[in-house]
Amino acid sequence: MIDALAGHLAGAASVVALTGAGVSAASGVPTFRDAQTGLWARYDPMELATPEAFARDPQLVWSWYAWRRSLLARVWPNDAHIALAEWPGRVTVITQNVDGLHQRAGSKAVIELHGRLDRDRCSAVCGTRTPASAAESPPPCPHCGALMRPDVVWFGEALPEQALADALAAVRGADCVLSIGTSSLVRPAAELPWEALAAGVPVGEINTEATLLTGQARWSLRGRADQTLPALVAAIRQRRGDHHEP
């Protein structure tokens, strides 16, 4: 199956990689829905990742994100991020992840659908954004004085408009969309591969478990992204007769 996908990708001028938490798993960043280890198996998302939760108990939400930020301080990109950063040809990464690991691996074209954990934003409407504060409690917005909050999208919130528009245009205009390391459950991100299919763009999936997308994917590789992506890049290079190192 990897050879068939590599054959298509070797001739693809524009590839889109839609990534989820499974791509960062090998870096030690917890996923959300894996049975034992996923964050939502151990914590209640409605208690921690909604605007209502923050309004109800800003200190609890802030402390939980401070813990997640402390995890990120000790991780680095894995072979999945590096394979995408060294992709043989043009690739746009559309990520649901908030860890910034694609950029740290060297990816240049990255569309962030769910924000960034290393940034704060004003919880009111002034739109002020700052680098993530290490304060124990949510600091006041330097502009309007409202509490600052992590600059990530919470349940029930809209995605950044421009990022979503750019993502839709990218998948509709691609030669291939790869859905990698995502349970394909959270909309509107999970709609992107379907938008690609509706536009006649073939979709491949790389994931350790089957998802709702699997049945529609022309190629479905069951495996870890940090092992499958480097093998896929090597197969593409071989098809292209690329002998130079990345």
Q: State the Cα–Cα distance between residues 205 and 94, nearest whole angstrom.
A: 14
DSSP secondary structure letters along 180-191: ES--S-STTGGG
Q: For residues 235 and 6, is the Cβ–Cβ distance under 8 A? A: yes
Nearer to ligand OAD, 1 or 144 (CB): 1
Task: Check whether the bond before 246 is cis (ω within 30° of 0).
Answer: no
Residues 86-125: x where in contact with ligand OAD by CB under 6 A, - otherwise, as a string: ----------x-x---------------x-----------
* DSSP β-ladder status, 129-131 and 219-222: unpaired
Contact region for ligand OAD (CB under 6 A) — 64-72, 104-112, 123-131, 177-185?
177-185
Active site annotation includes 114: yes
Calpha distance 156→83 (Å, rounded): 33
Taking the least distance from each CB to ligand OAD, the nearer of 143 and 222 is 222
Using rule CB under 6 A, residue 77 touches ligand OAD: no
Choose the stretch contacting ligand OAD; rule: CB under 6 A; options: 2-10, 26-34, 100-108, 138-146: 26-34
Question: 108: buried, middle or exposed (CB in 10 Å: 19+, 13-18, 0-12)?
Answer: exposed
- Candidates 102, 114, 143, 243; catalytic one: 114
Identify which of residues 69 and 240 has a Cβ nearer to ligand OAD in the complex.
69
Stretch touching ligand OAD by CB under 6 A, among 7-15, 139-147, 165-173, 220-228: 220-228
